[in-house]
Amino acid sequence: MSLFFAHMAGVFTSLVLLPSEMWRHGVPTLGGQYVLKNLVLVAAVQVRQHHLDDRFG
C-alpha cells in the first residue's frame, strides 16, 4: 500500500514541477488528464482499504 502512495506522490509532482506541460489556459492537457485520473485510483484504493479494515481489522 505504501508503494502505491509513494508512486502516486511521484506522479502528482509533475503537476507542480511541469505546469506548462499539464495545463493550457487553466484546462488540463492530455498529459494532465492522465495524471489527474490517478485521483480516482487514489480514492478507490482508500475506499477499498477502509472496507478491508472494517472487515478484518
Beta-bridge partner residues of 23: 28
Q: Which of 22, 25, 4 is nearest to 13 (CA)?
A: 22
Q: What is the pLDDT along the chain (57 residues), one digit of tens a residue?
A: 889 889 999 999 998 999 999 999 999 999 999 999 999 999 999 999 999 988 886
The residues near 8 (Cβ < 8 Å, ≥ 6 apart) are: 38, 41, 42
- Across 1-57, the runs of DSSP E, i.e. the strands, are 23-24, 27-28
What confidence score (pLDDT) does residue 57 get? 66
What confidence score (pLDDT) does residue 55 get? 84
What confidence score (pLDDT) does residue 56 get? 83
Domain extent at residue 28: 2-56
Domains contained in the chain, number: 1
